[in-house]
Structure 1
């Protein structure tokens, strides 16, 4: 039986280019509010109130909420409805465990000079971000540096997964910067990352793994101690 043959010629005339839907615009706007720290962990997002304020149908809000839930920024709780994500000790430990696994694996691949150059560029942008003294900019630059480290694995699927981790982590970091003025110590941001950058550029895999591990574990302890101090116990899953 002959295999079917396919032509390289095709037409794209049937493709319809659509503008961004209202639901996507709402999802993008709510995402910005959450990631900027203007919506706190555990805070309710009331569909009816949002729909009324924006002048859109509740179905549009529900679709936007579904998109945010898929992105890991909100969850639906019994008797409370839709709330912004709020960490438990287990979920935070799981997030940092995933970071540690991915970044430790990534620094085993210190062969591609072009990829390492991108890590250096991200590090330089982190240095520049500190001069802005804008916490949101610094947090984004910090996570962008770690994203380039994970990119050493050269796996688009892993990159997508790590991007989702970063969205959740960025939310917590911005929240802490709002609640605790000492959380982002501008003078120490670059110093915390310099040993990692130096180890990567030296090509010393074991040293790079050790520096990544130290950084992530220290950051986890610091974030956990602060975030569970500022959040009500009922929002963190802590035993009462």
Structure 2
């Protein structure tokens, strides 16, 4: 059992200390957090018996947690190798961005009429906060580590379509984050992305679904082009990529 797995085991013990009754839920959430943070890296094997021993539980809750991770698209079962964290290729990333353009464009169109005034006001505050951070470092990345205050998550939730929200928040964004952490990042993309967010926010505030969808699609295409440019030119940095 690796040091990473033992570290995860400590977190699980804390969760089981009265905070969560369901072992499978605790395992799933702990392993998800470890994968998303990179403490369990792409391609790393998740051994069912080993996890059960490290966490002090039976294999049943481990098996259930691994099944849910596979449904979420964070792990895959490889024949004769067991379960491993996905190791997305550049082509996987580009394919996700193609789908992202359509899904987030639709979410923006719906959110333009579905989001409440308080939700739009909160979104404006978030965008202003992000802008203030970027003004201090115009060439820096646009970091959105707080999932609940992520610009795109707010719009996905605000579209009021539970199917679309579930696809984006529960399945799509976790896989996208893994791809982003693994592949090219382009210096200076953060400020451009923030300006694009401002324009999308303006369209949402004006309740113009057509323009909101158009701007969101352009925004995602710009991110895709930045990825391709960074890959071809080799101009990268080591910070999280802009959303």
Decide which of 149, 158, 166 is 1:160's aligned counterpart.
Answer: 166
Equivalents in 1 of 2:108, 2:56: separation in Å? Answer: 49
Structure 2: where are the runs of 5+ without partners? 1-19, 235-243
* 1:22–1:60 contact (8 Å) kept in structure 2: yes
- Match of 1:214, SS state, is helix
Equivalents in 1 of 2:158, 2:98: separation in Å? Answer: 18
State the 1:159 CA deviation. 1.1
2:42 alignment counterpart:
41
Residue 186 to residue 90, structure 1, CA distance change in 2 (3 Å): closer
Equivalents in 2 of 1:225, 1:46: separation in Å? Answer: 38
- Match of 1:138, SS state, is coil
Superposition pairs of residues 148-187 of structure 1, within 5 angstroms: 148-163=154-169, 164-175=171-182, 187=191
1:212 alignment counterpart:
216
1:232 alignment counterpart:
none
Superposition pairs of residues 182-193 of structure 1, within 5 angstroms: 187-193=191-197
Equivalents in 1 of 2:189, 2:38: separation in Å? Answer: 18
1:125 alignment counterpart:
126
- Match of 1:210, SS state, is helix
Superposition pairs of residues 132-143 of structure 1, within 5 angstroms: 138-141=144-147
TM-score (norm 2): 0.67
Residues 151-194 of structure 1: per-residue CA shift (max 9 Å, x gap): 45421122111112112112333445xx86x5686555533411
Residue 22 to residue 129, structure 1, CA distance change in 2 (3 Å): farther
State the 1:41 CA deviation. 2.2
Residue 183 to residue 58, structure 1, CA distance change in 2 (3 Å): farther
Equivalents in 2 of 1:138, 1:35: separation in Å? Answer: 13
- Match of 2:31, SS state, is helix
Equivalents in 2 of 1:224, 1:46: separation in Å? Answer: 35
Equivalents in 2 of 1:145, 1:107: separation in Å? Answer: 11
State the 1:74 CA deviation. 0.8
Query: Max radius of gyration: which structure?
Result: 1
Residue 94 to residue 121, structure 1, CA distance change in 2 (3 Å): same
Residue 141 to residue 121, structure 1, CA distance change in 2 (3 Å): farther
2:29 alignment counterpart:
28
Superposition pairs of residues 75-154 of structure 1, within 5 angstroms: 75-89=76-90, 91-109=92-110, 110-112=112-114, 114=116, 117-128=118-129, 131=133, 138-141=144-147, 144-154=150-160
